[in-house]
Amino acid sequence: MNIANFFTASRIAAAPLFLFLYYLPRFAGISEQLMLLIIIPLFIYMEFTDFLDGFFARKLKQVSDFGKLFDPFADVVANLTVLLAFMLTGFVPIPIFIIILYRELSILFLRMLARGNGITIAAKKGGKLKTVCYIFAEGFTLLIELLAAFSLVTPARIGMLTVVNKILYGLAAVLSIISFFDYLLSYRKKI
Protein backbone atom coordinates (compact mmCIF):
# COMPACT_ATOMS: atom_id res chain seq x y z
CA MET A 1 0.00 0.00 0.00
CA ASN A 2 1.44 3.34 -1.00
CA ILE A 3 1.37 6.37 1.31
CA ALA A 4 -1.52 8.06 -0.50
CA ASN A 5 -3.73 4.98 -0.10
CA PHE A 6 -2.60 4.66 3.53
CA PHE A 7 -3.99 8.13 4.29
CA THR A 8 -7.20 7.27 2.45
CA ALA A 9 -7.57 4.01 4.40
CA SER A 10 -6.90 5.81 7.68
CA ARG A 11 -9.77 8.19 6.90
CA ILE A 12 -12.11 5.21 6.48
CA ALA A 13 -10.86 3.70 9.75
CA ALA A 14 -11.25 7.00 11.62
CA ALA A 15 -14.93 7.40 10.64
CA PRO A 16 -16.41 4.70 12.93
CA LEU A 17 -14.01 5.77 15.67
CA PHE A 18 -15.41 9.30 15.39
CA LEU A 19 -18.99 7.97 15.67
CA PHE A 20 -18.11 5.77 18.66
CA LEU A 21 -16.35 8.58 20.51
CA TYR A 22 -19.07 11.10 19.67
CA TYR A 23 -21.71 8.95 21.37
CA LEU A 24 -19.54 7.61 24.18
CA PRO A 25 -20.46 10.39 26.68
CA ARG A 26 -24.17 9.67 26.16
CA PHE A 27 -23.79 5.97 27.00
CA ALA A 28 -20.77 5.71 29.28
CA GLY A 29 -21.08 8.83 31.40
CA ILE A 30 -17.72 10.14 30.19
CA SER A 31 -17.26 13.90 30.07
CA GLU A 32 -18.58 15.48 26.86
CA GLN A 33 -15.89 18.13 27.20
CA LEU A 34 -13.15 15.49 27.19
CA MET A 35 -14.64 13.69 24.21
CA LEU A 36 -14.90 16.93 22.23
CA LEU A 37 -11.23 17.60 22.92
CA ILE A 38 -10.52 14.17 21.40
CA ILE A 39 -12.94 14.12 18.47
CA ILE A 40 -12.19 17.63 17.20
CA PRO A 41 -8.54 16.72 16.45
CA LEU A 42 -9.78 13.39 15.05
CA PHE A 43 -12.16 15.26 12.75
CA ILE A 44 -9.35 17.59 11.66
CA TYR A 45 -7.12 14.57 11.01
CA MET A 46 -9.85 12.89 8.93
CA GLU A 47 -10.28 15.95 6.78
CA PHE A 48 -6.55 16.66 6.52
CA THR A 49 -5.93 13.14 5.20
CA ASP A 50 -8.14 14.08 2.25
CA PHE A 51 -5.53 16.70 1.37
CA LEU A 52 -2.58 14.43 2.20
CA ASP A 53 -3.65 11.50 0.03
CA GLY A 54 -3.98 13.73 -3.04
CA PHE A 55 -0.79 15.62 -2.25
CA PHE A 56 1.33 12.47 -1.92
CA ALA A 57 -0.31 10.76 -4.89
CA ARG A 58 0.66 13.68 -7.12
CA LYS A 59 4.06 14.37 -5.54
CA LEU A 60 5.19 10.74 -5.60
CA LYS A 61 3.47 10.08 -8.93
CA GLN A 62 1.24 7.46 -7.34
CA VAL A 63 -2.00 8.64 -8.96
CA SER A 64 -3.92 5.50 -9.97
CA ASP A 65 -7.38 4.49 -11.11
CA PHE A 66 -7.74 2.68 -7.78
CA GLY A 67 -6.85 5.85 -5.85
CA LYS A 68 -9.32 7.87 -7.94
CA LEU A 69 -12.06 5.52 -6.71
CA PHE A 70 -10.75 4.86 -3.20
CA ASP A 71 -10.40 8.56 -2.26
CA PRO A 72 -14.00 9.60 -3.09
CA PHE A 73 -15.25 6.42 -1.39
CA ALA A 74 -13.34 7.37 1.76
CA ASP A 75 -14.78 10.89 1.55
CA VAL A 76 -18.30 9.46 1.39
CA VAL A 77 -17.71 7.11 4.33
CA ALA A 78 -16.18 9.85 6.48
CA ASN A 79 -18.68 12.58 5.64
CA LEU A 80 -21.79 10.39 5.86
CA THR A 81 -20.62 9.03 9.21
CA VAL A 82 -20.13 12.52 10.65
CA LEU A 83 -23.40 13.75 9.11
CA LEU A 84 -25.23 10.73 10.54
CA ALA A 85 -23.92 11.52 14.02
CA PHE A 86 -25.04 15.13 13.70
CA MET A 87 -28.39 14.18 12.19
CA LEU A 88 -29.11 11.89 15.14
CA THR A 89 -28.41 14.76 17.56
CA GLY A 90 -30.58 17.20 15.59
CA PHE A 91 -27.92 19.40 14.02
CA VAL A 92 -28.56 18.13 10.49
CA PRO A 93 -32.24 18.12 9.49
CA ILE A 94 -33.36 14.66 8.34
CA PRO A 95 -34.45 15.79 4.83
CA ILE A 96 -31.05 17.38 4.25
CA PHE A 97 -29.29 14.22 5.39
CA ILE A 98 -31.46 12.15 3.03
CA ILE A 99 -30.67 14.45 0.08
CA ILE A 100 -26.95 14.21 0.79
CA LEU A 101 -27.13 10.44 1.34
CA TYR A 102 -28.97 9.86 -1.95
CA ARG A 103 -26.57 12.12 -3.82
CA GLU A 104 -23.52 10.31 -2.47
CA LEU A 105 -24.98 6.87 -3.19
CA SER A 106 -25.99 7.99 -6.69
CA ILE A 107 -22.47 9.22 -7.44
CA LEU A 108 -21.04 5.92 -6.19
CA PHE A 109 -23.45 4.09 -8.52
CA LEU A 110 -22.46 6.38 -11.40
CA ARG A 111 -18.79 5.63 -10.71
CA MET A 112 -19.52 1.88 -10.72
CA LEU A 113 -21.34 2.18 -14.05
CA ALA A 114 -18.49 4.17 -15.52
CA ARG A 115 -15.91 1.73 -14.17
CA GLY A 116 -17.81 -1.10 -15.85
CA ASN A 117 -17.21 0.77 -19.12
CA GLY A 118 -13.53 1.30 -18.38
CA ILE A 119 -13.98 4.94 -17.35
CA THR A 120 -12.71 6.35 -14.08
CA ILE A 121 -14.67 9.33 -12.81
CA ALA A 122 -12.33 11.55 -10.85
CA ALA A 123 -13.47 14.29 -8.50
CA LYS A 124 -14.58 17.52 -10.16
CA LYS A 125 -14.42 21.07 -8.83
CA GLY A 126 -18.14 21.11 -8.01
CA GLY A 127 -17.76 17.91 -5.99
CA LYS A 128 -14.77 19.34 -4.17
CA LEU A 129 -16.65 22.56 -3.39
CA LYS A 130 -19.53 20.49 -2.03
CA THR A 131 -17.09 18.57 0.17
CA VAL A 132 -15.58 21.80 1.50
CA CYS A 133 -19.11 22.95 2.39
CA TYR A 134 -19.75 19.63 4.21
CA ILE A 135 -16.52 20.06 6.16
CA PHE A 136 -17.24 23.68 7.02
CA ALA A 137 -20.77 22.85 8.25
CA GLU A 138 -19.52 19.84 10.24
CA GLY A 139 -16.71 21.89 11.77
CA PHE A 140 -19.24 24.59 12.68
CA THR A 141 -21.34 21.93 14.44
CA LEU A 142 -18.32 20.87 16.48
CA LEU A 143 -17.64 24.52 17.34
CA ILE A 144 -21.23 24.92 18.58
CA GLU A 145 -20.91 21.79 20.68
CA LEU A 146 -17.60 22.99 22.10
CA LEU A 147 -19.04 26.40 22.98
CA ALA A 148 -22.05 24.76 24.64
CA ALA A 149 -20.06 22.10 26.52
CA PHE A 150 -17.73 24.68 28.04
CA SER A 151 -20.55 27.24 28.56
CA LEU A 152 -18.65 29.84 26.55
CA VAL A 153 -21.78 31.46 25.11
CA THR A 154 -25.37 31.86 26.22
CA PRO A 155 -28.04 29.34 25.24
CA ALA A 156 -29.66 32.07 23.09
CA ARG A 157 -26.41 32.42 21.11
CA ILE A 158 -26.22 28.64 20.75
CA GLY A 159 -29.73 28.75 19.30
CA MET A 160 -28.72 31.42 16.78
CA LEU A 161 -25.56 29.54 15.83
CA THR A 162 -27.59 26.36 15.36
CA VAL A 163 -29.89 28.14 12.88
CA VAL A 164 -26.82 29.36 10.95
CA ASN A 165 -25.48 25.80 11.03
CA LYS A 166 -28.71 24.42 9.54
CA ILE A 167 -28.46 27.00 6.75
CA LEU A 168 -24.91 25.79 6.07
CA TYR A 169 -26.18 22.21 5.82
CA GLY A 170 -28.93 23.40 3.48
CA LEU A 171 -26.29 25.05 1.28
CA ALA A 172 -24.29 21.80 1.33
CA ALA A 173 -27.39 19.90 0.16
CA VAL A 174 -27.97 22.37 -2.69
CA LEU A 175 -24.32 22.13 -3.76
CA SER A 176 -24.51 18.34 -3.60
CA ILE A 177 -27.48 18.32 -5.99
CA ILE A 178 -25.79 20.77 -8.37
CA SER A 179 -22.56 18.77 -8.38
CA PHE A 180 -24.49 15.54 -9.00
CA PHE A 181 -26.08 16.98 -12.13
CA ASP A 182 -22.69 18.31 -13.20
CA TYR A 183 -21.23 14.78 -12.98
CA LEU A 184 -24.27 13.29 -14.70
CA LEU A 185 -24.13 15.74 -17.62
CA SER A 186 -20.36 15.43 -17.95
CA TYR A 187 -20.29 11.64 -18.11
CA ARG A 188 -23.69 10.62 -19.49
CA LYS A 189 -22.45 10.11 -23.06
CA LYS A 190 -19.42 8.11 -21.95
CA ILE A 191 -21.55 5.79 -19.83
8 three-class SS: helix
| The pLDDT value given to residue 190 | 67
Q: Which domains does the chain have, with CATH numbers?
A: 3-187 (1.20.120)
What is the rounded distance in angstroms from the CA atom of residue 53 to the CA atom of residue 64? 12
What is the rounded distance in angstroms from the CA atom of residue 30 to the CA atom of residue 176? 35
Q: Looking at the predicted structure, is the pLDDT value of residue 36 above 80?
A: yes
pTM of the model: 0.92
Residue 98 near residue 47 (C-beta atoms within 8 A): no
Q: What is the pLDDT of residues 145-186, one digit of tens each?
A: 999 999 999 999 999 999 999 999 999 999 999 999 988 888
Residue 107 near residue 128 (C-beta atoms within 8 A): no
Residue 33 near residue 149 (C-beta atoms within 8 A): yes
